[in-house]
Structure 1
Amino acid sequence: MNTYEQNKNDRRALVAAIIASGMDDLNVMFLAFSMSTIITQLNLTSAQGGWIGTITNFGMLFGGVVFGVLADRYNKFKVFKWTVIIFSVATGLVFFTESIGYLYLMRFIAGIGVGGEYGVAISIMAGIVPQERMGRISSLNGIVGQVGSITSAILAGLIAPLFGWRGLFLFGLLPLVLVIWMHFAVDATHVSDSGRQTTNSASTSKGRIADLFKTKALMHQTLALMVMTTVQIAGYFGMMNWLPTIMQANIGVSVSGSSAWMVTTILGMCLGMLVFGQLLDHFGPRLVYGVFLCCSAASVYCFTFAKTGPQLLIGGAILGFFVNGMFAGYGAMITRLYPYEVRTVANNTILNVGRAVGGFSSVIIGMILDSSGVPTVMLFLASLYVISFVFMMSLPNLKQARYIKHGQSASKASSVAVAPLAEI
């Protein structure tokens, strides 16, 4: 019996986990669309404004670790609901901002919820979805995140002119509607969680961060994946935060032209995620990540030579396809590389370290632009993907982390792809 297709409670839990990912992206992007107004109205320096995003990233790292541990030790779906409540309420409370200190506090708390939500949502999906579909489901999760970003842009255009940036953040309370629906529509105690039945309930290693570094091989795996996620975030921020500015300043592209570039790039991202998920399920992460990382390095460097409007649009779509198409695969890959006992804490810790460190790429790119110029920036970004490729190839477990095919038993495939903590 295929419980994924027949269990209504699981289907509702899966839908909630996917939708929440779009809602947390919507909340995070509110800051991007209101930053300049916040700096002006609160009379902030650029450095003070920059710290708003940095503090949010630190909150994500803290929340990822804390809620990763809690979800691996207790009921994942109940913990998941609390992460959504936290980032929703904290985002809505930004409406009452009168000082920069208050805004820092609210963004840190919102970051705690967002950082915790991602890994818990991925673990809920992995507990429900058969392994041969996990890549595709992770891709859908990433695409919904992009939809959340687009929705944030639309709301910013409609609401901010009428109610100001504070009114925009008040709409951050919308995910509470999802929480109310989850409370009445989903029985948290009966959401499927594959792996739980094979785990020793008396295990003392459940949900411990130390277990991500328990042996030399596991430490290498964890650190290598952190490097890969750092490159993923750094490349994304570099592409989305700086390339439109670079095009406007150095190529003479208008604001509307850079907006069109942004749209085609996001569409390329969504298509890339969709294709990546399909390939990941069929060929496993080593081959697919290898191809996408190499193509990312090449496409970023080649974008340096794009000068005309059509070249910029096509180049942006190709960039989005390869550079961010990979993002959705990390949840599926990390889930396969770590045992059930630390499934959530591994996802949250690895991704949020990448967010915290990779977020500094915007500062580094700004420094390179001041000292060298655009070609050096593009060479820097391209080299990041080469570094990620080297670390990815150093992970021996990726050779076995193929996903379950139809007709193969879950227990057999799991024994190949995921070794117990003591054996890694």
Structure 2
Amino acid sequence: MEHGDKANWFRRMTAPEKRTFIAAFGGWALDALDFMVFTFVISTLIGLFKIDRAQAGLLATITLLFSAIGGWLAGMLADRFGRVRVLQLTILWFAVCTLLIGFAQSFWQVFLLRALQGLGFGGEWAVGSVLMGEIVRTEYRGRAVGTVQSGWAVGWAVAAILYTVLFSALPENYAWRALFWVGVLPALLVLFIRKRVPEPELFRRTRAQEEASAARVSPWAIFSPALIKTTVLGALLCTGLQGGYYAVTTWLPTFLKSERHLSVIGTGGYLLVIILGSFIGYLAGAYLTDRLGRRANLIIFALLCGACIFAYTRLPLSNEQMLFLGFPLGFAASGIFSGVGAYLTELFPSAVRANGQGFAYNFGRGIGALFPSLVGYLAKTAPLGVAIGIFAGGAYLVVLIATLLLPETKGREIS
């Protein structure tokens, strides 16, 4: 009976838990849609605005850097004004900025809007993850928060489909704009959240206690002696996760094309295999984080990521083998993220939970955003495969070290 209960966890969730799950899943999927459309129109923007690859890369980096700022800021605001209210704000901000990119007339206009877009992008995950973690009960928390991460693969797949449809039906100079105009869709999710998603009881109780005692918790409390170890190790964990992911996903296609001369990398089939692997990896990680524990899940996926990096950069692979290896790459590189949301939620106390989680995850994103540039810099004096291996492999080693130094939180009742 117990196994059946766990297998049907979504059906057994309460109505507020289900509505919160739907809102968080939809928000993350739509964020992925809005964020990933940029990856499909890079070549179009290079030609349209007469920019070089370095400038195009800057458009990607600026969003990630500002998302680090936005995630921490949104976390602090969510601890002060509420998870639901700030989640609505971040979704609206992200949606409007994405829509406006479709009207941009120059590189610098896109640059500015991509920076502003990043503020909302970072905030949505930080606040939505905390909201999920506080509303969903302990025994389902890992699976629920982890499964929300699979929404990224769904949004990525929808972006790929829309790209194919719009660039087939419209001239290129209009199609790229239409892709960003679709970015207004997340705004509709706010209507659902306003009516159906409650503020967590735990947050309301914590705020009432603060108001009754007239003692407001400082946003700098995450650096107090009681929490500094958790904050630093959490930030290192997230730096490893995201630095490894960005180093691999940014440079691996270039490595396989330029040094291995494999043509399959540029095909839609290869992309779909990676997306499918990512989706299943998210679901597997969500299950394992509750089944085996937060630390064991992270260790397993970090080792899988290291194995995939070794296979891609060291083994002589054919086009056919590369196509099939896209699945374990997507599985490992994406699945490792499933357990981190619930883990961070359980590591921080309620009064600074969104603040601490927002800082740790988005500090990792900000530093991780530099990894592609570091790989490129090292690749000037070393083979690209070696550069990828050093930074991506090193990143997942950091994940292992941070995980071993952090406590296990499986089954922990949050307060």
TM-score by length of 1: 0.86
User: For the residues of structure 2 that align with 1:204 and 1:39, how far apart are their CA atoms?
Assistant: 55
Tell me what 2:112 maps to: 105
User: Which residue is 1:407 aligned to?
Assistant: none
- Which deviates the most, 82-91 or 268-277? 268-277
Aligned to 2:5: none
What is residue 230 of structure 2 aligned with on the other side?
Answer: 221
Q: Could you tell me which residue of structure 2 aligns to residue 241 of structure 1?
A: 250
Distance 2:355 2:144 in 1: 20
Counterparts of 1:412-423 in structure 2, within 5 Å, are 413-414=413-414
The one of 23, 39, 47 equivalent to 1:32 is: 39
Q: Does 1:51 align with 2:61?
A: no
Match of 2:25 in 1: 18
Which amino acid in structure 2 is aligned with residue 166 of structure 1? R
Number of equivalenced pairs:
399
CA distance in 2, matches of 1:59, 1:101: 16
In the alignment, structure 1 residue 323 sits paired with structure 2 residue 333:
yes
Q: In the aligned structure 2, how far is the partner of 1:48 from the partner of 1:54?
A: 10
Residues 1:54 and 1:137: Cα distance change in structure 2 (over 3 Å): same
Preserved CA contact (<8 Å) 1:206 1:341: no
Tell me which residue corresponds to 1:409: none
What are the residue-to-residue correspondences of 1:305-384 with 2, within 5 Å?
Answer: 305-380=315-390, 381-384=392-395
1:4-153 alignment runs, 5 A limit: 5=12, 7-153=14-160
Change (3 A) 1:99 1:208: farther
Instruction: Give the alignment partner of residue 403 of structure 1, picking from 389, 403, 411.
Output: 411
Aligned residue in 1 for 2:202: 194
Residues 23-77 of structure 1 deviation map (CA, whole Å, 9 limit, x = unaligned): 1111111211112211221122333222212221232122112211111111211
Q: Give 1:175 deviation, angstroms.
A: 1.2
Answer yes or no: is the 8 Å Cα contact 1:338–1:346 preserved in 2.
Answer: yes
| Residue pair 1:69, 1:208 contacting (<8 A) in 2 also | no
Give the direction of change, closer, same or farther, for the CA distance of 1:219–1:34 in structure 2 (3 Å limit): same
Aligned to 1:410: none
TM-score by length of 2: 0.88
Q: Name the counterpart of 1:172.
A: 183
CA distance in 2, matches of 1:44, 1:257: 22
Distance in structure 2 (CA, Å) of the matches to 1:204 and 1:315: 57
Distance 1:66 1:373 in 2: 39
CA deviations 1:387-412 (Å, max 9, x no partner) are 221222122xx14x1225xxxxxxxx
CA distance in 1: counterparts of 2:298 and 2:121, whole angstroms: 26
Residue 337 of structure 1 aligns with an amino acid whose one-letter code is L
Measure the CA separation in 2 of the matches of 1:68 and 1:111: 14
Query: Aligned letter for 1:141?
Result: V
By how many angstroms is 1:172 displaced?
Answer: 0.7
SS in 1 for 2:337: coil
Structure 2 residue aligned with 1:283: 292
Q: 2:401 aligns with which of 351, 368, 390?
A: 390
Shift of 1:222: 1.5
In structure 2, distance between residues paired with 1:140 and 1:105: 33
Paired with 1:109 and 1:331, the residues of 2 have a C-alpha distance of 24
For 1:207 and 1:155, locate their aligned partners in 2 and report how far apart those are by CA, in whole Å.
45
Does the residue aligned with 1:201 lie in a helix, a strand or coil?
helix
Structure 1 residue 292 and structure 2 residue 301: aligned? yes
Label 1:258 to 1:242 Cα distance change in 2 as closer, same or farther (>3 A).
farther
Deviation at 1:84, TM superposition (A): 0.7
Tell me if structure 2 keeps the 8 A contact 1:233–1:355. Answer: yes
Could you say which residue in structure 1 is the equivalent of 2:4?
none
- Cα gap change, 1:99 to 1:339, in 2 (>3 Å): same
- Partner amino acid, structure 1, of 2:396: Y
The 1:167/1:135 distance shift into structure 2, 3 A limit, reads same
Uncovered stretches (5+) of structure 1, i.e. residues with no partner: 405-412, 419-424
Corresponding letter in the other structure for 1:139: G
- Give me the whole-angstrom Cα distance separating, in 2, the residues matched to 1:50 and 1:3: 40
CA distance 1:204–1:113, change in 2 (3 Å): farther
Distance of 2:264 and 2:321 partners within structure 1: 17
Amino acid across the alignment from 1:210 = W
Residue 334 of structure 1 aligns with an amino acid whose one-letter code is L
2:65 touches 2:366 (CA, 8 Å); kept in 1? Answer: yes
Q: Is residue 70–residue 79 contact of structure 1 (8 Å, CA) maintained in 2?
A: yes
Contact 1:14 1:128 in 2 (8 A): no
Instruction: Using the aligned pairs only, state the percent identity.
Output: 28
1:171 CA displacement: 0.9
Return 5+ residue gaps in structure 2 as ranges.
Answer: 1-8
CA deviation string 1:296-328 (max 9, x = no partner): 223311332041234323433222222321112
Distance 1:257 1:136, change over 3 A: same
Letter in 1 for 2:356: A
Shift of 1:5: 4.9
Instruction: Quote how far apart the aligned CAs of 1:358 are.
Output: 0.6
How far is the alpha carbon of 1:257 from its aligned partner? 5.7
**Alpha-carbon distance between aligned partners in 1 of 2:10 and 2:218, rounded to the nearest angstrom:** 30
**Contact 2:146–2:283 (CA under 8 A) maintained in structure 1:** yes
The alpha carbon displacement at 1:291 in A equals: 2.4
